[in-house]
Amino acid sequence: MDETPTPSMEGRRRRLLFRATHMGTRENDILVGGFVRARVDTLSDAEIESLETILRFPDPLLADWLTGRAPIPAEHDSAMLRAMRKASGV
């Protein structure tokens, strides 16, 4: 009976914000970090999960999608990724 406890929402929010502001490239730190910082306190569990998935994409791909340098592929398209792109001014 080694069940791992589910992380608290507050803990998930803190980790998400840290990851979003320490992506690896300054451009993504600004784009993703700014988006998450503005919304982290109001995100639902499903939205946090969606952002956690997005943060797994390689930095160059994510930057290209968010800035409009490349289209978001259909298989990765999501409401959250579109919202992030819109927030970046594209």
Quote the CA–CA distance of 8 and 21 in Å, as a whole number: 20
Tell me, yes or no, whether 50 lies in a domain. Answer: yes
Residue 4 is assigned to a structural domain of this protein: no
Taking the CA of residue 32 as centre, how many other CA atoms within 13 Å lie in the half-sphere pointing to its CB?
32
31 within domain boundaries: yes
Instruction: Taking the CA atoms of 23, 83, 11 and 34 in sequence, report the sign of the dihedral they define.
Output: positive
Please report whether residue 34 resides in a domain: yes
Band of residue 5 on the pLDDT scale cut at 50, 70, 90:
very low
> Is 3 inside a domain boundary?
no
Domain residues for the domain of 31 are: 10-87
Q: What is the pLDDT of residues 28-37, one digit of tens each?
A: 999 999 999 9
Task: Write the pLDDT tens digit of every residue in 37-82.
Answer: 999 999 999 999 999 999 999 999 999 999 999 999 999 999 999 9
Name the token pair of 47: 């939205």
Q: Which two tokens stand for residue 24?
A: 């690896």
Which CATH number do you get for residue 66? 1.10.150.250
How many structural domains are present in the chain?
A: 1
Q: Is residue 58 part of a domain?
A: yes
Q: How far is CA 64 from CA 8, 9, 17, 53, in A?
A: 32, 30, 21, 17
* pLDDT range class, residue 9, cuts 50, 70, 90: confident
